[in-house]
Structure 1
């Protein structure tokens, strides 16, 4: 099997609709500015469960924008689908978005499977997000 290019886009359902989430360079820089931390520090805070609420909220909002959702719509989606929900309801989504930006994900086929034919699974939950050692695990593909 040939080596394929990985994508940084994540496809998930939020508020009953399917969306594309992606952090591009501009969204990463804005995330760093809003969270007052470098992108690596934000990812580490999530992985170590030492995140701030805006680490999660802004990752999702900016991921929507990077995925093609207009900025006002992205803000409205987050306001109504994230802001009033328990953190555990959207932690997995924020982690999947930032993890895809660091590690990449296999591009999707129209049937929702990746190029290996395996259906997409959800990101680790808050209870299993922290890596075994003190740094985020970069060996996962």
Structure 2
């Protein structure tokens, strides 16, 4: 699975987010569901808080942020904030995993 990182302003600057196969497994464990079900819950707005926070935390780690720093980002910029503020980021991360980057062309 090849996937480019999704880069956007988050918290204190531009950060990359990428769910690699290894962190997808961890996300599935943390959220108690497969990646498709997690995405379905987010896309239909029937999500749990862990669906949002763990998607963001693990995508930071998947893109190269050290785990301790990723946790610090969650504490500083996700925990205690209205969920809608971070819901859209989590949905975009999962959208990239499922559908790829719309600006990339596929080679034939």
**Same fold by TM (over 0.5)?**
yes
Q: Distance in 2 between matches of 1:115 and 1:73?
A: 30
Structure 2 residues not aligned, in runs of 5+: none
Could you say what the CA RMSD is over the residues aligned between the two structures, in angstroms? 1.6
1:72-111 → structure 2 map (5 Å cutoff): 72-106=68-102
Count of residue pairs brought into register by the alignment = 104
In the superposition, the TM-score normalised over structure 1's length comes to: 0.70
Q: If each structure's helix is expressed as a fraction of its own residues, which one has the higher value?
A: 2
Structure 1 residues not aligned, in runs of 5+: 1-5, 107-113, 117-141
Equivalent residue for 1:15? 11
After superposing on structure 2, the runs of 4+ consecutive aligned residues of structure 1 that deviate more than 3 Å are: none
Asked if 1 retains the 8 angstrom alpha-carbon contact of 2:3 and 2:18, the reply is no
Q: Helix, strand or coil for the counterpart of 1:19?
A: strand
Equivalent residue for 2:45? 49
Q: Distance in 1 between matches of 2:93 and 2:4?
A: 8
